[in-house]
Structure 1
Amino acid sequence: MLTENRASGIADTVPSRSAAIVVELLAVTAAVTAGHLVAGLLAPASSPFVAVGDAVVRLSPQPVVEFAKSTFGTADKPVLLAGIGALLVLLGALAGLAARRRPAVGPAAVAVLGLLAVAAVLTGPVLVAADLAAPLAALVVGLAVQRGLDRLARRPAPGPDAGGHRLPRRTVLAGASAAVAAGSLAAGGAGAVLASSAGGVAASRAALTARLAAATLAESAPPVPASAAFPRLGTVPFVTPNAEFYRIDVALQIPAVRAEDWSLRVHGRVGRELVLTVDDLLRRPLVERLITMTCVSNTVGGNLVSTAVFTGVELAPLLREAGVDPAADQIVSTSRDGWTAGTPTATVLEPGRGALLALGMNGEALPPEHGFPVRMVVPGLYGYVSATKWLADIELTTFAERSVYWRDRGWAERAPIKTQCRIDSPAGFARLPAGRVQVAGVAWAQPVGVAAVEVRADDGPWVRAELATEVSPNTWRMWRAELDLPAGGHTLTARATDRRGDVQTEARADPIPDGATGWPSTIVTVV
């Protein structure tokens, strides 16, 4: 693995290309995993790998963010982290090659990457002193490993062992490299385990689930009749299981906070500040609400829409208790990870709106990825202005005084959900037998409710669909229709009408800045 640099008269050995690359890659790996381990012990979000990923999300131009969401959907976070990992491998390999004859390049490359991790943590939206421990540990360990392995790779062969035998240089380096690799694997695995169970969140969530199950509800969600969906025709279940509920957020590391440690500050333009704990919320009247949530990034006919039974506390009475300044037209809610949303105050205070501080979802405490222990849910508004997860702070302010995360990136200030529908069945490019074709799907127009859905084949007449039983204006509504289709290719199109009489517009618009518009369609072939 090593060659003598005799041509230049240098006595030291010069590592082979493969040895130089291995040294640098192991140094980078040791740095990343050491930082991940320390982060798991102290503050999971401060892991250098995660912190750099968060910085990439914060600094990426809006078109790049939208491309990632539209292309990879909910897999955008693993794709981003995989991309960062691949870039680290490439940079490490290049640095290793450059360091063969310029030894200073190796530690300098590790130092630069380490300092970038420190900068990513320092510039994050939320910072406490403990957050710096992980990137600093990564920097120290990375430099130590790089220096140690590089010395082994360059120094002359060691003297004889206790039996009088000389150990080949490559054997010494290979043994040290294997030890570093094993240590890195153990550190990374331990860090992942610690991060996933940080602070006893799993036990805390189980305890909160039990408390919610034992609580007396001031209001229960209406039962969902069998006639509320057409699953035999291909529609989704009316209530979305937690594991299938769409997830869109910017958190690469799910914030970990126990319900016992959670608190919420309500401040700003209020008569008196409130500081609330989970126990405080559980002492207030608890209500259940069936609510359909919709993401503003949902494309026409997309699946970023789901329905759940949320259990929580009414937000409007709580704000009135704080005494909202009439001039405070915006509620800025902040997530544990520093993400912010701006919600129109008038919407939350609107009689019958039903905005919640939610603690439960479909009969259990909120799943970690959906905001445990407390999140906001405001029916009728796209999530980016209403559905803050891992809620940490509420400030009453004005739209003029303060901007928020997505508005800084070009999205609209206010974002009521637009009337939309989707064709679930038949699937696109399906081949169907001639005759009567069953078409089914879902429509939504929260909080007004869906009054009608119409379907047509090609440019033919609109056929009024049969609507499933309405459960609530705040939820979606399933529909079905039958069409007589001759043999050949056909384009099926649908449109919805809400209870105000507003028909879903045909005009196509991208999700930016306030939600997509247009009629969903699918192409089928009748044989």
Structure 2
Amino acid sequence: MKEIPAPVKPPERRRLSLPVATLIGLAALVTALGVGHLIAGFVGYNASPFVAVADFVIAHSPHPVVVWAEQTLGTADKTVLKIGLAVVLVLFAVLAGQLSRRKPLAGQVLVGLLGIAGVAAVYERTDVGQLALLAPVVALVASLLVFGWLHRYALPPAFDESRAPEGPTRRQVLVRGAGVAAGAGVAAIAGQVISGAGDAEASRAAVGPLIPSRKAPPLPADADFQKLGSPPFITPNADFYRIDTAFVVPQVRTEDWSLKIHGLVDREVTLSYADIRTRPLVEREITMTCVSNEVGGDLISTAKFIGVDLVDLLDRAGVRQGAEQMYATSVDGFTCSTPANVALDPKRGAMLAIGMNGEPLPVEHGFPARVVIPGLYGYVSATKWVTDLEFAKWDSRQSYWLERGWAEQAPIKTESRIDTPSGFASVTAGKVRVAGTAWAQHIGIAKVEVRVDQGPWQQAMLSAQVNKDTWRMWWAEVDVPSGTHSVTVRATDQSGYTQTDQIADPVPNGASGWHSVSLNAH
């Protein structure tokens, strides 16, 4: 009887291991980021795919998310965004690798979709030219090529499935993938160097001393009560609060900067940095406040700003009757709307500032130049890296925050806070010293009162008033019996208005309410 041969088991289809597949996806990702950053060095830093996508996320995030990020994360919001975006990209890269353990097509499609998102993010930008699209396009092509190349190397095509070539070892694939990553890193560094990311600091250092022809008067000795627990009157530049939408701090050299004033004006004016630098400079102490500042919050700081009177520059352009807003644009595309009547008021003291606390503006605070307008929340008055001022009607243009439902008119509300003792502090029962800060910019603080629990209001000692556009410090001694008690503060401004105890969220025109802290007395 003829023996029937056993059925031949078909060869098992080859596939990449999980670590190797993951490596291929990650190698394609770092290639896209590195090459994109390199090309961006030639066509514009903000064309870097990672930067463009991050700015796209900032610009298109739902308004409640933006508010939550500012209030919860404060100045760490950009760092959290960087980390979050990096994690998402890594997850997509890993997924692309896992989908391609047998064939590269599925992973390449996913990589392609990510690349198209980068192209769309750059295309939407208004601060880069058409050549900027080269960065995400070349990044996309490079990532697809690397993905396919590494996939073929790790899983070479077999002409005879029953005699599949052995292929490289995992170590060999790892070495090749590490080489790709190293090359991408070199490309990213080269892009950073080519883009001149350090040039802004060099340009800033070359500005030289800024000597105002109208210097602010010396601060009185009792301008603050720092020894009693208030902050210093002048906030050091390193401690000055920073809230903006810039994912990457714009790097602008003085020789590349200009300011255009146009729109509803008699004549269009374009000014260079030299035009501003050589004008007589003025120095003013101004307290700035972020609209996102919660009751008792710390998004408020004071500096000596040096610059020129904004109204003098606007007079050169001849702003026409009927202009309702000054629509300011930053070099990174951020926009801000200021009521035109405020910007044009010679008594307001609005400035185009080029210096801060005796030195050129720090890069992160707007170097080479920024707008500073006393008495208005920063989102309508404090455009950093400003490069364009257009006068227009309200209904013709909507700036970044107005599109998100914030108020057109944004005068800073009269507010106060307790700086010391901190909330839930343990104190000795009896006389307790309380100190803090109050502000009512462009009106001035007249009185600050504190009380324990629901007891009578007690007037606090005020520091010397420097001017009506700055904060004012206070302190008082209150009787705190044993146990847990609350201390509350309220301020009255020089118009006679006492801050309301009605609690309001920052949206749409600033928070309100009385600040209280709980103390444990023993």
TM-score, normalised via structure 2 length: 0.94
Superposed displacement of residue 40, structure 1: 3.5
Superposed displacement of residue 147, structure 1: 1.2
- Find 1:490's aligned residue among 485, 501, 508: 485
Q: Distance between the aligned counterparts of 1:245 and 1:190, measured in 2?
A: 32
Superposed displacement of residue 32, structure 1: 1.2
Q: Distance between the aligned counterparts of 2:10 and 2:463, measured in 1?
A: 84
1:307 paired residue number: 302
1:221 paired residue number: 216
- Match of 2:53, SS? helix
1:175 paired residue number: 175
1:203 paired residue number: 202
Q: Which amino acid aligns with 1:39?
A: A
Retained in 2: the 8 A contact 1:315–1:348?
yes
1:112 paired residue number: 113
Retained in 2: the 8 A contact 1:199–1:257?
no
Superposed displacement of residue 10, structure 1: 6.2
2:317 paired residue number: 322
Retained in 2: the 8 A contact 1:152–1:172?
no
Distance 1:337 1:172, change over 3 A: same
- Match of 1:219, SS? coil
Superposed displacement of residue 168, structure 1: 4.9
Superposed displacement of residue 42, structure 1: 3.8
Matched, 1:232 2:233: no
2:185 paired residue number: 185
In the TM superposition, 1:43-442 aligns within 5 A as 43-155=44-156, 168-192=168-192, 197-198=196-197, 200-208=199-207, 210=208, 212-213=209-210, 215=211, 217-442=212-437
Superposed displacement of residue 167, structure 1: 8.8
1:19 paired residue number: 20
Superposed displacement of residue 102, structure 1: 4.0
Superposed displacement of residue 191, structure 1: 4.0
Superposed displacement of residue 150, structure 1: 0.8
Distance 1:395 1:460, change over 3 A: same
Q: Distance between the aligned counterparts of 2:78 and 2:432, measured in 1?
A: 39
- After TM superposition, the structure 1 stretch with the greater mean CA deviation from structure 2, 91-100 or 130-139, is 130-139
Q: Distance between the aligned counterparts of 1:7 and 1:61, measured in 2?
A: 56
- Find 2:446's aligned residue among 440, 448, 451: 451
Retained in 2: the 8 A contact 1:449–1:475?
yes
1:160 paired residue number: none
Q: Distance between the aligned counterparts of 2:9 and 2:91, measured in 1?
A: 30
Deviations 1:303-354 (A, max 9, x none): 1100011110101122122111111121111111111111111112223211
Retained in 2: the 8 A contact 1:330–1:342?
yes
- After TM superposition, the structure 1 stretch with the greater mean CA deviation from structure 2, 135-144 or 56-65, is 135-144
Q: Distance between the aligned counterparts of 1:7 and 1:272, measured in 2?
A: 85
Q: Distance between the aligned counterparts of 1:167 and 1:61, measured in 2?
A: 49
Q: Please list every run of 5 or more consecutive structure 2 residues that lacks an aligned counterpart in the other structure.
A: 1-7, 159-165
Distance 1:438 1:469, change over 3 A: same
Superposed displacement of residue 37, structure 1: 2.8
Superposed displacement of residue 199, structure 1: 6.8
Distance 1:339 1:7, change over 3 A: farther
Retained in 2: the 8 A contact 1:270–1:324?
yes
Retained in 1: the 8 A contact 2:115–2:139?
yes
Q: Distance between the aligned counterparts of 1:447 and 1:461, measured in 2?
A: 29
Retained in 2: the 8 A contact 1:199–1:258?
no
Retained in 1: the 8 A contact 2:415–2:512?
yes
- Match of 1:341, SS? strand
Q: Distance between the aligned counterparts of 2:491 and 2:201, measured in 1?
A: 42
Q: Distance between the aligned counterparts of 2:184 and 2:54, measured in 1?
A: 20
Deviations 1:47-94 (A, max 9, x none): 111111111111111001011111111100110111111111111112
Superposed displacement of residue 436, structure 1: 0.9
Distance 1:199 1:268, change over 3 A: farther
Retained in 2: the 8 A contact 1:53–1:81?
yes
Q: Distance between the aligned counterparts of 1:32 and 1:39, measured in 2?
A: 10
Q: Distance between the aligned counterparts of 1:61 and 1:247, measured in 2?
A: 21
Q: Which amino acid aligns with 2:204?
A: R
Q: Distance between the aligned counterparts of 1:61 and 1:369, measured in 2?
A: 25
- Match of 1:135, SS? helix
Matched, 1:525 2:520: yes
- Match of 2:475, SS? strand
Structural RMSD (CA): 1.8
- Match of 1:14, SS? coil
Retained in 2: the 8 A contact 1:40–1:198?
no
Q: Which amino acid aligns with 1:526?
A: A
Retained in 1: the 8 A contact 2:46–2:128?
no
Q: Distance between the aligned counterparts of 2:275 and 2:302, measured in 1?
A: 27
- Match of 1:443, SS? strand
- Match of 2:126, SS? coil
- Match of 2:180, SS? helix
Q: Percent identity?
A: 52
Q: Distance between the aligned counterparts of 1:235 and 1:8, measured in 2?
A: 81
Superposed displacement of residue 488, structure 1: 0.5
- Match of 2:511, SS? coil
Distance 1:104 1:224, change over 3 A: same
Q: Distance between the aligned counterparts of 1:337 and 1:7, measured in 2?
A: 63
Q: Distance between the aligned counterparts of 1:32 and 1:513, measured in 2?
A: 38
Q: Distance between the aligned counterparts of 1:47 and 1:62, measured in 2?
A: 25
- Match of 1:311, SS? strand
